Amino acid sequence: MRVSPPEVDATTPPARGAVDPGESDLLAKAQGGNLFAFEEIVRRYQRRVYGTALRIVRRHDVADDVVQDAFLRAYQALERFDRQRPFGPWICRIAANLAVNHVRSPESREEGLPEGLAETPMGEPGPLSGVLESEGREVLDRAMDRLSPEQRAVFVLRVFEELSYQEIAEALAISPGTVMSRLSRARERLREALTPYLGVAMRRAGGGPA
């Protein structure tokens, strides 16, 4: 099964933590062997899963591979999935685990995102705010690169996917205490990296010298 590149997200997935009755129906059909139903589920969650993978592996080509593998594994395990639970957190946990395993692998070489391939911002900011937003993304990008893959995974699942400590622990096969420890270290390292930039950005936004 080949998943198309996540260019367009035609259908909005349900809110995090919520179970959409329509999605439950799709999952029931997919569990019964309906490939079209599963393809619709893929379309709903492809961008979200891609974002989870990219924030951990930090390379677009590798994130593509993780997305493909995550949906393939989800399909293979679909019979055991409880339709009373939301699909989104489950598939994102699979992707996060695969992403961490990839970065840990001996053949993996961590590289920063190629220039110009950062995620596209929403809206149309003015000239100054556009510059600050662009620079802020670059600073955050570099700060995320300095985290270990384990710290990135915990940070992404907690902050972007809003999973509980227990859910993250189960996804990554670690204890809740380890989750909290890694999350604390990740936040501290990001804070240290971003604080100098935030001071400069605030002065520039206020018209003061940089």
Q: What is the mean pLDDT of residues 29-41?
A: 94
> Residue 200's Cα: distance from chain center in Å?
28
pLDDT at 7 over 80: no
Please, what is the average pLDDT of the chain? 78
Q: What is the mean pLDDT of residues 72-91?
A: 93
Burial class (CB in 10 A: 0-12, 13-18, 19+), 108: middle
Residue of 37, 19, 120 whose CA lies nearest to 78: 37
208 pLDDT band (50/70/90 cuts)?
low
Domains of the chain: 16-105 (1.10.1740.10), 125-210 (1.10.10.10)
pLDDT for position 136: 65
Q: What are the Cα distances from residue 169, in Å, to 50, 144, 158?
A: 21, 21, 11
pLDDT, tens digit, 9 for 90 and up, residues 132-162: 456 667 777 788 888 888 999 999 999 888 8
pLDDT for position 10: 38
Report the share of the chain in percent with pLDDT over 90: 46
More confident: 114 or 19: 19
pLDDT at 106 over 70: no
CA dihedral 53, 172, 142, 134 (to 10 degrees): 50
